[in-house]
Structure 1
Amino acid sequence: MTTPMVSMRDLRMEYGAGPSRVTALDGLSVDLPAGSFTAVMGPSGSGKSTLLHCAAGLDRPTSGQVTVDGVRLAELDETALTLLRRRRIGFVFQAFNLISSLTAAQNVALPLRLAGRRITPGEVTAALEAVGLADRARHRPVELSGGQQQRVAIARAMITRPAVIFADEPTGALDNQTSRHVLELLRALATGQGQTIVMVTHDPVAAAWADSVLLLTDGRLADRLDGASAEVIAAQMARAEAAC
């Protein structure tokens, strides 16, 4: 049996203590195959972002095990965890998180600099070409549209050829046409490059681009939809929200 690229076992995340304690993840277990595109959905407070942050090594769970590309995150100290994130994990966020003083090319090259890797102009150009922005290499974020900034963020996430890309509401601030372009890029990374994509979204249309949709409620995996249409996903989401 193929080893999953991302594996979460009995994942529990609690905040606070005593009567004010909040359980964000409640014994969640799931495996995500290499080269898969998975959307994570659920009502507000269901644990979507917490799952993403724990899976990506940004937060340490209260208990349970997260394994990424065969590495158990709990066994790594902060230095080793940082190195793993730099080399094997990419991030795409709704707010883009580009550095305003850097050009598009410099933003894309940043993960390579942080990893101490030699940067070749061709490598950065190829990443920008892949997202259709080779002609915007010298532009700073303020000179780019929201969709162009998100595509720069995707190129930045791609540049180290990570095993997994985690995307937190990557189309949440974009119009429909631009959202489609971003989703096409993420889909191509999974199908064409064999990278594993994990995307939190509230949008059933965006989620329908994924191979599977994980539906969370109260920190638990309530359902898993494979190859579902936007209509089916929307109906399941409506039922989940009504039950809350």
Structure 2
Amino acid sequence: MTIPMVSLRDLRKDYRAGSDRVTALDGVTVDLPAGTFTAVMGPSGSGKSTLLHCAAGLDRPTSGEVVLDGVGLSRLDETGLALLRRERVGFVFQAFNLISSLTAGQNVGLPARLAGRRVEPADLDEALARVGLADRARHRPIELSGGQQQRVAIARALLNAPAVVFADEPTGSLDAHTSRQVLAMLRDLVDERGQTIVMVTHDPVAAAVADQVLLLADGRLIDRLDSASAESIATRMAAVEETC
């Protein structure tokens, strides 16, 4: 059996909204296998971003347990969580979050340098080569297309060889053609390098690239689709939205 890279056990997350309590996650239990691509989908307010943040150690659940690469996150203090995120987790978001005054190579190495670690030029070159930008190391963001900027952000996430990459709508600001290129690259990272990727998306076409699709509604995991087509995902999502 494939060993889980991320295990969620009876995960619950409540928020206070004035005098009311809002439940964002309501007892989610699921294993995300190592070396696979998981997409997380659901209607607005279904809890998908909250699931991503709790799984990545960016937010603490109200109850339940997250185990990431064999480490139970509830046992870690804030310093321990920050260290785990730095060493074992990569993040990619819809906004590229690149520094306009820095080159692509400098942007890739920035988080490591801020953490006080020396970054070898060869490591930067390797990270950019992995995403097909070996010849763009000295280009600034304004000189790159949107898809190239997102590739720089992915290279930055991959620099320290993370156990898992969490991506929140990574193609949300890209056109259809560029989205397909970025998704194909993410797929290759899983197939060729054994990377584990967990991606939140609202797009059935993007989700169809994944090995499994988790469907959330009202904070609960209501379905899992394996190797599903975009059409079948869209049909299932439409049925979920009709009941919400």
**2:18, 2:44 → 1: CA distance?**
23
Written as runs of structure 1 = structure 2, the 5 A alignment for 1:72-221 is 72-221=72-221
Question: Cα deviation per residue 1:174-212 (whole Å; 9 max; x = unaligned)?
Answer: 011111111111111111111110000000000000000
| Equivalent residue, structure 2, for 1:228 | 228
Give the CA deviation at 1:226. Answer: 0.2
Query: Which residue in 2 is equivalent to 1:56?
Result: 56
TM-score w.r.t. the length of structure 1 is 0.96
Give the Cα separation in 2 of the matches to 1:69 and 1:132: 28
CA contact (8 A) 1:111 1:159 kept: no
Tell me the residue number matched to 1:23.
23
8 Å contact kept, 1:104–1:136:
yes
Distance 2:132 2:2 in 1: 34
> For the residues of structure 2 that align with 1:211 and 1:2, how far apart are their CA atoms?
13
- Take 1:17 and 1:94, find their aligned partners in 2: how far apart are those partners? 26
Pick which of 86-95 and 179-188 moved more: 179-188
Listed as ranges, the gaps of 5+ residues in structure 1 are: none
AA aligned opposite 2:162: P
The amino acid that maps onto 2:170 is P
Q: Shift in Å at residue 51 of structure 1?
A: 0.3
Moved more, 52-61 or 187-196: 187-196
Q: CA deviation at 1:215?
A: 0.3
Distance, in Å, in 2 between the alignment partners of 1:16 and 1:58 is 18
**Structure 2 unaligned runs (5+)?**
none
Which stretches of structure 1, 4 residues or more, deviate above 6 A after TM superposition?
none
What letter matches 2:120 in structure 1?
Answer: T
Deviation at 1:101, TM superposition (A): 2.2
State the one-letter code of the partner of 1:29: T
Q: Tell me the distance in 2 between the aligned counterparts of 1:77 and 1:233.
A: 38
Take 1:87 and 1:4, find their aligned partners in 2: how far apart are those partners?
18
In the alignment, which residue of structure 1 is the partner of 2:42?
Answer: 42
| Equivalent-residue separation in structure 2 for 1:101 and 1:13 (angstroms) | 39
| SS of equivalent to 1:177 | helix
> Is the CA contact (8 Å cut-off) linking 1:83 and 1:115 kept in structure 2?
no
Match of 1:5 in 2: 5
Q: For each residue in 1:17-65, what CA deviation from the matched residue of structure 2 results, as whole angstroms up to 9, or x when unmatched?
A: 6752110000111101100100000000000100000000000011110
Q: How big is each residue's C-alpha offset from its partner over 1:75-124, in whole Å with a ceiling of 9 and x where there is no partner?
A: 11111111110110000000111122221101111233244333111111
Identity of aligned residues (%): 75
Moved more, 172-181 or 230-239: 172-181
Change (3 A) 1:137 1:14: same
Query: What is the aligned length?
Result: 244
Q: Deviations over 1:113-162 (max 9, x none)?
A: 24433311111111111212122211222222211110000000111000
**Structure 2-normalised TM-score?**
0.96
Q: Is the 8 A contact 1:5 1:32 kept in 2?
A: yes
Q: Equivalent residue of 2:4, what SS? A: coil
